[in-house]
Chains A and B, each alone.
Chain A
Amino acid sequence: MPDHILTYLIFLPVLAAFLALFIPRDRSAWFRVLNLAVCGVQGILTIIAIVRYGSETGDLRLIERTEWFSLNLGTWGSLRAEYFLGVDGLSLPLIALTVFVMIIAGISSWTITKGVKGYFTLMLILNAAVIGSFAALDLLLFYLFFEFMLLPMFFLIGIWGGKRREYASIKFFLYTLCGSILILVAFIGLYISGSVPGDVATHTFNIMYLRDGSNYVPGSVLDPSGTWLIGGWSARNWAFLLLFVGFAIKLPMVPFHTWLPDAHVEAPTPVSVILAALLLKIGGYGLLRIAYPLFPDAALSLSWMVGLFGVVSIIYGALTAMASKDLKRLIAYSSVSHMGYVLLGMASATQEGVSGAVYQMVSHGVITTMLFLIAGVLYDRTNDRMIENYSGLARIMPVYFVVVLIAFFASLGLPGFSGFIAEIMVFLGAFRSNVIHLSLAIIATLGLALGAAYYLWTIQRMFFGKLHVRGAASTEQLTDLDLREKVMFLPLAAITLILGIFPQLLLNYIDPFALGFVSLLTGGS
């Protein structure tokens, strides 16, 4: 078994989804149990994977590699696609995060009553696609998993979502597809220009080969030593820009973020959780795994732009969050703000910054899961998420209040929580960086203050003061957390605390990756 552990991780849910098709549709409990069982087995597999991975180096481990297909392209050689999986210090934490969040989302999905069969089938497919994206090391394979997330997500939002679900699902789909088309343009250029070592006639999608500048066909469009210009600008810069925008839509980055608040607000709670905690990470992952390492030269020269957009996202996201009246929308915009730190961290091109970016992705994954569940708790009880309609909730929902405090403080970056470690590292990198301007780092610190402001203000408005509920809801509906909800929140709170107090647990994996990443960047310039 251990030889193909990543394959098992990816295809177990696919198999389960296939099995689910044969379960009668009225057996809701079966689907819930099946989904949880799959996630549970994935959890065990992930622990085995972590143990087998070790932590000393930033190398790829658990590699599975075999030829997928090889197309003969006539006079200009052949094209080889590989089934190539592997994990390193970047993808292993993200895969662990995926499995963990999927378990929580699975439990959270028990409130779904409509079309349970279709819902869990799509969830299982989504599960496989996300893990596949993190594990794939061949561009075509990556693209397959990347696109495979779209349709399940479209239907999950569109069928099980809120009032404006149709608008939100279409918008999500169009934005994301636009992004993936841009990515595809760059991928086509990459495989046409790249080849396997020592054989210029065999074109490849293999990311590890394409990282090496000597594997490009001399004179091809994306040859690092070539001087191919398109519109007066180097073709490699264009390709980087395409990948950057493509992944930035997914991230999402201001100004390509407008799909996110709609999709998040309309999606049912577990789907929002997956969207925010996992799908956004694919954007950051794509930048760190593909855009930067494949175009280190272009990435360094355009880092100012990445950093600038990062800072814009931080500030704009925070300001919009502060202005949001809907709790879920506030959380959605806080995601935009927090993903800005990921951009800033990688733009700094320092080890601290890159480590901080990866740390932020994992930390945000955990914290945002809590945040969306918190919004879900309220919505499940009253069908109303307007912040202004509540006050003094701390009196009648004490446990909920504690959970909200933990989540909000973790998210605003209070020391002791994982968010703090991530942000402090990003800032360390940004201030020390000689790639991006110091002013960007200084402006970004504003984001910290704004983050504290909108979270504390929300707590003040909703939980302090006299007990008061406006609108259709009544105070009787506002019961405290039940056992199922406590079971979901407990591990989440524990993990963000553990990662805040013992950052080395995660940095042991991330740091070697960041070191290799930075040396690739600076060595390649």
Chain B
Amino acid sequence: MRSISYTFTVNGIERTTEEKKPLLRYLRDDLKLYSVKDGCSEGACGTCTIVVDGHAVKSCVLTTDRAVGKNIITVEGLSLREKEAFVYAFGTAGSVQCGFCIPGMVMAAKALIDREPDPTDDEIKRAIKGNICRCTGYKKIILGIRRAAAILRGEEEIRDISQFTGKMLPEENEFISVVGSNYDPELASGIANYENRGESSQYGVGKNVFRIDVRKKVLGYGKYPDDIGPEYFVPSDRPDIVRELAGWTEDEYKEAEAKGMLKVGTTVSKKDEPLVNICTIVDPDMPPMAYCSAVRSDYPRAIVKKINKEKAESLPGVLGVLTAEDVPHNKVGHIQQDWDVMIAEGDTTRMVGDAICLVVAESPYILEQAKKAVKIEYEPLEPVKSIAEARAEGAPKIHENGNLCQQRHVVRGDAAKALAESAYIATASFTTPFTEHAFLEPECAVSFPYGDGVKILSTDQGAYDTRHEVAIMLGWEDAQERIVVENQLIGGGFGGKEDVTTQHISALAALKFGRPVKAKFSRAESLRVHPKRHAMEGTFTIGCDENGILQGLDCDINFDTGAYASLCGPVLERACTHSVGPYNYHNTDIRGHGYYTNNPPAGAFRGFGVCQSQFALESLLNVLAKKVGISPWEIRYRNAIEPGLELPNGQIADVSTALKETLVAVKPYFDDAPEDRVGIACAMKNAGVGVGLPDKGRAKLEVKDGLVWIFTAASDIGQGCQTVFIQDVAQATDLPITKIWIGIYNTDNAPNSGTTSGSRQTLVTGEAVKGAAKLLKAAMDKEGVTEDSLDKLNGRVFEYEYFEPTDKLGSDKPHPKSHIAYGFATNVAVLDAEGKVTDIYAAFDAGKVVNPLSMSGQIEGGVLMSMGYALTETWPLDNCVPTAKYGTLGLFRAPDIPDIHAIHVEKDELLEVAYGAKGVGEITSIPAAPAIAGAYYARDGVLRTSLPIEDTFYSKKK
């Protein structure tokens, strides 16, 4: 047969292939152009955008045969000038968070700028309409693209930001600051990147800082686990490859060898970029990387009668098919270990995403063939579809202890009496849907045999959590150090990467077959498997006196936690404890129940249960305000918590409490908007895990080669905590950025600093980093060490553990301390005549604002996420089977965004810890949804009790 070949140009080089396949696969697998990200392979997300003959094109859609004769450019093929323009523009604009969408955004922008050198915002929005960003809310990406265009036109300069101590950001990057006296936005400055780090020390706490991960994310050379290909594992007898990859000179190479950096098991970083690993050295006998993937259940509830795997196992290139029998302990689970690694023959599935067996093969192509060859015989059973079915008499038991997964009862005062005596009562039943995190990077892990155990290169929210779960599966709970978990770049999480998904199966396969194994979820698999935001059915009753002063709350909160518990307990608890809102009243009776069903599991999601209960509470406050005859702003202000008052859970609101300040900050916008087109909502959210759990922050600073290295196993899922840690050290020590480095951290070299959850890293780990930095500073002062003589401290290690005990739920103390801090917020949503959301004024009290640029990025992204929750996002299930694809989830795209105005509220009175920072990650996604619902209530007087809210400008589009 005559072979057909396809020839085209990639980044200026003519390439020929005989394979007909999506260009995405050719660029990544054959040319190793890893800037071209694989976010969905369905054409929906835009992370794989490249430029073809001047047009932005999704490379997962275009195939090699259709690309013949075309000129293809990826980020790697941009000119040096373009690269620098995008790095600078995106860094100073704060466009980069998790970074997974960014190379695609850059290429969409390049196609636009080449065609239209001076694009309007509207043109930019339309140019990136095919590119989803889940972190930023697009605002800063649009600004970044506008600035990159200005630089490429020659109208703006790339300034040496490391030397820059004036106002770095043009006024268009505005956010409104309502701040205390110790804050001066004029003193902004930045960190350029590791290659271009100047001597300025203007990057301490409170400065607008260029994040440390901008360059590698914009240019696409930073590694997410999926960017680890077979070539990542270099045999120890090929040091020449390592040298070339690292870019070492002969002398540097010799030095590395002398330091033992070429030994088996070592991970080598890119020269001058300690956070970019380029290879791991393995034994020359180690076989190349294999691929594994699970065959998953077709039925939400069915008995697995037989697994016919022989045909798959006999295919050439298949290493084996693992089943439950091959797992030492067939259970995992973040808190409750109720999640079967694989469903064994004779057992019953609990959801459609359940793994039945695990196929391991030499290549992704063979893997797909083998998965199809596995035939599973089922006996389908009627699934448990809803909370009502789960708690019905005689309902099938999904887990052996029944369908009630978790319950909480929070009582203070006498709610029944308070409600009976209230002048006005508002009551309603609310339903909120499951929500998909839709992070841009699907789950992926690469594991390989390491020492007497396994090393897992992961993308998750807590390296030690993953280690613990994998240890349970392997039966290594007493020898957890045999497992090393090392997070790579993390392409978004939002709570959806707290549970293990790919890590444990890749580790299992790596140990079984003694070689590196990659496990990667397809987008469809990701949608089915990882836990969602809980769907809620709840009834809320709240009462106030004739002046609108709240008296009491009674509520029933029922969560559908799907097939597995995941984080049902803590999420349900947070929903209950926060259902009262940030107000000053003390009669509450809150009953929370979480039920197992055969739906996909629910667990952590930014907002952690509070999005659900605050939507209900804030909606009812508007009803009460109407009954009392005061404005929605007024009822909130009259009841707002203040420092020294008792929160509804009995905790005394601390000095940093700034709810009233956030209300005052948005008042002008609320008053200016037409009365029937504006809505308002407040929120509170804990920072730190709290409730009596041992939530510790730990950090280790090591002085090496005259530099300070920060080690802490705290996942930066895009929120920017690594940059915050550098700022903390800079603030404590006055050292310049050139001296403060973050290395690759893992469970072997860095202390456990808990999960990226509960808005805790900036506060809890931030305090630990600060503590360690103060120890370093003390040593420097004692020994007269300056930034130039840090060498004198070489080899010294400074460790700090921060732990502030809290009281457990139901503590009998009069004023239990549930959480170390609370953040507060008020959002105002404004509609136009058609009901379209035009503006959201979003005021947040996060204590000390460590990096204002990052904080407004968090706000804009969180608010847009909340707006999706309010108006467009759905997760439809058909008899427990999810029917949505990534592109039909209802995620907002750039052309449809409102103007989100981030308002930072920073008081003079701050907490002592972490320079007063309280964290802002989760609260950003809570108040916008009820504010928008409130605006619609003002518009037509209809109380909307389900999400997404019905009969809106946005529901017309469906």
Determine if chain A interacts with chain B. Answer: no
Seen from chain B, the residues whose Cβ lies within 8 Å of a Cβ on chain A are none
